[in-house]
Structures are given as structure tokens and as C-alpha cells.
Structure 1
Amino acid sequence: MSLAVIDRNDVVLRGRLSAPPELRPLPSGDTLLLFKLVVRRENPRPRAPRSDILTCVSTVPTLLRYASAWRTDDVVEVEGSLQRRFWRTPTGTAVAYEVSCRRGRKLQRTGRRAAREPA
């Protein structure tokens, strides 16, 4: 069996922005979009967290353009994949899990239909 049949890394998240998105220039000359998405847990246990804050990143130009108009508390939906990133710090190696987004859109607050912002 091939790896294409066994492995799958697809993430779809819908949640609220905890802060405005950031655009960070990279040494390569690319621009990194970074934002944090608050996603409620479906069935939280008593005294357990009711939501998770997930870091989302992207270098997709279309998504960078649309996300620059997003604001705190906007409800957005993103599609991408989960990735683990390592980097060196003065105290050792650090690690983080992030959602690498390939698409995203802002959703309307008053209804279920998405705003016309596919990326």
C-alpha cells in the first residue's frame, strides 16, 4: 500500500480570531501570515478548558491579501495541514504545532453563509 493511501493531513477549522493577523517578513523575502484562532471544544469536560487557541500560518499570497482585512473577533474558516516546527533558542530547541493554511475565508456573523472571500 502506498503512503498516499495511508497518510492524510487535512485540517478544517472554524473559530474566532483572538487578535488581528500579523504579517512577518521572512529572511527568504516571503511574508508569513500568522494568526491565532479560538476554537470551542465540542463536549468539554467539567472544569476542563472550553476552547483551544490554535496558531495558524500561511505564505499563500491570496490568503495574505484577504486576511489583512480580518479583525479581532471575526469568525473565520481555514483549511490546511498540521505541521510541527523546530527552532533554536538560547535555552535549547523549541517546538510548536501550527496549522499551515492553504485557504481561508471570513464568515458572516449574522448567518451561516460565508462572505465572498475565498482564498
Structure 2
Amino acid sequence: MANKGNQYKNRVELAGRVSGEPSEKTLPSGDVVAEFRLVIDRDDREGVDTLDVAVWKAQLRKRALSLEAEEWIGIKGVLRRRFWKGSTGIASRWQVEAREIERI
């Protein structure tokens, strides 16, 4: 199927609570990222989903780092799969790359 008119979309909109304190780290490339986990209740059954969130833009990183554990937030962003070379070879994980964060 051809991509006519940019019909494929990678958009994520989530609401949940922050799990733990956000952290900031500098990668070997020199890029800086803030990371935290978002806990989301499941609608259809008991339990929760816990998603890793990455924040790359400087101003939004500042907001992310001001979040507190158990705080309820809304996020808009995109889903990304990150790859890196680990001690046992190539590793990967899925993250939500936040483009907007708001307290709710």
C-alpha cells in the first residue's frame, strides 16, 4: 500500500500518573534526555500499563523534571523504538517521545 497524502500517523495521546521522580541523563552523543515512567490504568480489566517516556526538547525537559511522583499528567507525542549496543549485543525498547506535557 502506497503512502498517499501522508496517511500513516504516529501519534500518541495518554493520561496517567508519574511513577517515581523523572531523571535527566547525557548520552554518549552529548544529547540530553529527561526520562520517566507513566502508569496508565487499563479500561477493560484490572491492572496497569507502565510506559517509558523520553523528553528531548530543552524547555519541555525542564517541565518534565518538575513533575512529582504520583502526579497526574497528559502527554501528546509519538511512539519510538530505541536501539543501542549492550553487553550482550543490540538491545531495544519502546518509548513515548513526549512533545507536549500538561498537568491534569
- Offset of residue 84 of structure 1: 0.7
| Distance of aligned partners of 1:83 and 1:4 in 2 relative to their CA distance in 1, 3 Å threshold | farther
Q: How does 1:40-119 map to 2 (within 5 A)?
A: 40-44=41-45, 50-107=47-104
**Taking structure 2 as the reference length, what is the TM-score of the superposition?**
0.89
- Which is higher, the Rg of structure 1 or of structure 2? 1
Higher RCO (CA-CA < 8 Å; seq separation 6+): 2
| Distance of aligned partners of 1:28 and 1:89 in 2 relative to their CA distance in 1, 3 Å threshold | closer
| Distance of aligned partners of 1:56 and 1:25 in 2 relative to their CA distance in 1, 3 Å threshold | same
Moved over 2 A (4+): 1-6, 26-30
Identity %: 30
Specify the SS of the correspondent of 2:6. Answer: helix
Structure 2 stretches of 5 or more lacking a match? Answer: none
Distance 2:4 2:16 in 1: 31
**Taking structure 1 as the reference length, what is the TM-score of the superposition?**
0.78
More strand per residue: 2
Structure 1 stretches of 5 or more lacking a match? Answer: 108-119
Aligned pair count? 103
- 1:20 matched residue in structure 2: 21
- 1:37 matched residue in structure 2: 38
